[in-house]
Chain A
Amino acid sequence: MGVSRRGFLGILGGAMAGATLAGGRANAQPPSSTSADSFGCLVDLSLCVGCRKCEAACNKQNSLPQPDRPFDDMSVLDTFRRPDADKFTVVNRHLVGGAPAYAKVQCLHCLDPACVSACIVGALTKEPSGAVRYDASKCIGCRYCMVACPFQIPAYEYSEALTPRVRKCEFCFERQMEGKAPACVSACPKEAMAYGKREDLLLMARERIRSSAARQVTASTEGAADAASTPAGDAAAGNGAAPLPLLPYIYGEREAGGTSWLYVASHPFESLGLLRLPPEAPPRLTEAIQHGIFKNFVPPLGLATLLGMAMYTLRGRKEKEQ
């Protein structure tokens, strides 16, 4: 009896261990779906002045409901906000060392998106253009995508009784197809955002970081002259002082496996409400385990075979009933 009991558990344990091992090997696979010339956006937060023009443009582009307070009401910035079912992007004001700093957030359009991997019916897809899109007609409303997103982006129309949708920025996919930049990007008066091939944007980001550092060196040698040339009242300059250099870090280059949207900033990203995340794309772990368990159906079939063999060989023990 002891033997067979252990046998039974051993079978299960063995199948699981096999699956996990297979998973470990599959872990090395590269992310699935990103084409080399997909698009992205580079947001230079040091240029953002918190005018909310991008919010207004996004609202109009996506025919979202009018907000209670208009987009030129800056008192909205007094509270920290997150994108929700009625707004796909928000700008928040953060106080860093007493000075205001602004950060626009929206879906980052991950290269290997957790939401896409999680979705039970494939209602979310990563397009070759870089956009992560949503098809409401497939969605069953399980909200697993919301559980999965490391940036906590997808929102849900909980108030809809019959046809609730997952809501999030879709990178203005229609505009992309027309060769246009996203509405929010085009609306920015400070040109704080750039739209283009992600590869190019990474180069651009590095170049900006380099030149801002160089400018800083010049600024400190040339003294007040440079600071005076900065237009007065430019919030990006921060209290009229020389602009801070960009930090030598591109947010989104690696976070959660990398994202199509990239950020540079002159303040630590965490102080601007951007999460510190590990470079692994979340789907790599779950998909490795899943595909390990299903690898050519070997583990389930193996378990079935073992059970069948146990059932057959032990049948002699069948006691008189039935």
Chain B
Amino acid sequence: MSHSASTPIKGVPFFTPGTLVLTAIAMAGMGLGIWRFVVGLEATTNLDDQFPWGLWIAVDVASGVALAAGGFTSAGLAHVLHRGRYHPVVRAALLTAMLGYTFVALGLLFDLGRYYNVWHPMIMWQGNSVLFEVGMCVMAYLTVLYLEFVPIVAERLRSPEPLPRLLQLVRKPAGAVVGLLDRIVGKIMWLLIILGIVLSSMHQSSLGSLMLIAPSKVHPLWFTPILPLLFLTSAVCVGFPMVIFESLLASRSFRLKAEMDVLSPLARLVPIVLALYLAMKGADMAIRESWRFLLPFDLPARMFLLEVLGGVALPLVLFLSDRVKRSQLGLFVASSLVVGGVVLNRVNVFLVAYTPPYAAESYFPSLAEFGVTAGLIALLVLVYRFAVMNLPVIPGHAVEEGGR
């Protein structure tokens, strides 16, 4: 079992052809985002009175929250169940969750008509609103994630290595503040971890309750009172595959040796939750007899089948195979399928299934909507890269032969 301490990744340039492309996408996206604030939603999006929610809610917010689930699932595994062997991936998962939720909040600002009122829920409580619960939990969880991240920053500040020039100037005071915070966080870490898991379970499921307020507008293939349970379960499903997906991408990008001795055992846990999720979906379909709506084989039916067969059943089969679990490519493909399946599920629930009764035409996102979403994702990847190059997040750093 390798548990070499995590250190910042050194000896790789920040800018590579790949990151330059990402930088261009991020800048274009942020340009479009600024344009949205100047001219408003009508000129930049295809949202209208029939379709008040679009790509930004389905992908930036709903999918973003789901894909950040690696944070609470791996925390549960490593810190509650004390599976020590998984510690090497916990920091990366925590970083992903922290950045993921930060970008969810950012993405939401583009969508809100009165973004400057985003803090209103904190003082204007409306306990009947599902969205209120989601909002409050996300805010609280984001705080928890930042606190959980304090020890990583403190560790970096303690290490003798120099910081980037500008930061070096404030090293003393920053070190003192972070050090103090770190001592407090160290004492309550166990509480933060429990709080993080509880808050996650609450808002991951409530995200599924959101559309239950519109029973007459949501396609029966997806509308079920157990939608919150399905959302929570699928979030748990995607947690580890997302950790695997990222870890493999990072080791490829930084030419590190893939952490297969952690990832393969982690992969063994995935099919259990996937099978549970598939069984729930199947039972729900059987009880509500919603399979009837597959027969027309129209767009919703096809999207549903793609989601369940391609995003749940197929990766379930793959994750059951030992060959797949031992191969980097196999793991990567299987994990990507789960990730794609969960994103597709959120897009289906929030966009495809949404059928307003008087809709004259259907909704398809505008170029600017795609641009902002792509820009946010690109920016997230860049910040992630910057973070792991400057903070002790990824352990080991065994360089792959012929690498660098």
Contacts and interface: CB of A to CB of B under 8 A. Distances in A.
A283 B42 contact: no
Contact of A163 (B112, B114, B358): B114
A144 B216 contact: no
A85 B159 CA distance: 59
A121 B211 contact: no
B80 A311 contact: yes
Nearest to A158: B42
A141 to B, nearest CB: 2
A142 B198 contact: no
A294 B121 CA distance: 17
A244 B42 CA distance: 44
Interface stretch (B166-174, B225-233, B382-390): B225-233
Interface string A69-96: 0000000000000101100000000000
Most chain B Cβ neighbours within 10 Å, of A17, A147, A164, A275:
A147
Contacts of A114: 213-214
A249 interface: no
A16 B205 contact: yes
Interface string A160-196: 1111100000000000000000000000000000000
Given A310-B81, A319-B1, A278 B216 contact: yes
B70 to A, nearest CB: 15
A286 B53 contact: no
A321 B262 CA distance: 15
Interface in A132-155: 138-144, 146-148, 150, 152, 154-155
Interface residues of B, number: 78
A247 interface: no
Interface stretch (B12-20, B129-137, B307-315, B320-328): B129-137
A318 to B, nearest CB: 5
A294 B228 CA distance: 14
B35 to A, nearest CB: 10
B124 A122 contact: yes
Interface stretch (B96-104, B189-197, B248-256): B189-197
Contact of B41 (A119, A164, A320, A322): A164
A13 B47 CA distance: 36
B396 interface: no
B133 A139 contact: no
Contacts of A85: 49
Given A120-B121, A286-B213, A307-B80, A322 B132 contact: no
B47 A158 contact: yes
Given A118-B131, A289-B212, A300 B202 contact: yes
Nearest to A311: B80
Interface in B101-133: 111-115, 117-118, 120-121, 124-133
A9 B276 contact: yes
A123 B121 CA distance: 11
A118 B213 contact: yes
A25 B154 CA distance: 49
Nearest to A273: B358
A154 B49 CA distance: 7
Given A8-B76, A140-B114, A161-B40, A317 B84 contact: yes
A308 B53 CA distance: 38
Contact of B215 (A16, A17, A159, A285): A285
A30 B75 CA distance: 41
A: contact size bracket:
35 or more
Given A16-B205, A120-B135, A138-B124, A307 B113 contact: no
Interface in A269-322: 275, 277-278, 280, 282-283, 285-287, 289-291, 293-294, 300, 303-304, 307-308, 310-311, 314-315, 317-322
A1 B272 CA distance: 13
Most chain B Cβ neighbours within 10 Å, of A13, A122, A285, A287:
A122
B198 A161 contact: no
A227 interface: no
Contacts of B215: 150, 278, 280, 282, 285
A179 B2 CA distance: 79
B216 A140 contact: no
B23 interface: no
A9 B273 contact: yes
Nearest to B5: A321
Nearest to A301: B198
Contact of B225 (A9, A20, A159): A20
A5 B114 contact: no
Contacts of B291: none
Interface in B263-305: 269, 272-273, 276
Interface string B24-58: 00000000000001111111010111101100000
Nearest to B131: A120
Given A121-B126, A152-B357, A321-B84, A275 B133 contact: no
Contacts of A147: 52-53, 210-211, 213-214, 217, 354
A106 interface: no
B345 interface: no
Most chain A Cβ neighbours within 10 Å, of B3, B79, B114:
B114
Contacts of B132: 120-121
A289 B230 CA distance: 14
Contacts of B202: 293, 300
B257 interface: no
B356 A152 contact: yes
A157 B49 CA distance: 9
Contacts of B194: 304, 307-308, 311
A164 B130 contact: no
A44 B40 CA distance: 40
Contact of A146 (B52, B80, B85, B198): B52
B117 A140 contact: yes
Leading 5 A-B pairs by shortest Cβ distance: A141-B113, A319-B84, A161-B40, A143-B52, A158-B42
Given A144-B210, A321-B87, 9 more contacts: A120-B132, A121-B132, A140-B118, A156-B52, A164-B113, A308-B190, A310-B80, A317-B81, A318-B84
Interface of B: 1, 3, 37-43, 45, 47-50, 52-53, 76, 79-85, 87, 111-115, 117-118, 120-121, 124-133, 135, 190, 193-195, 197-198, 201-202, 205-206, 209-217, 225-226, 228-229, 232, 236, 269, 272-273, 276, 354, 356-358
Interface of A: 1, 4-5, 8-9, 12-13, 15-17, 20, 32, 82, 84-85, 114, 117-123, 138-144, 146-148, 150, 152, 154-164, 275, 277-278, 280, 282-283, 285-287, 289-291, 293-294, 300, 303-304, 307-308, 310-311, 314-315, 317-322
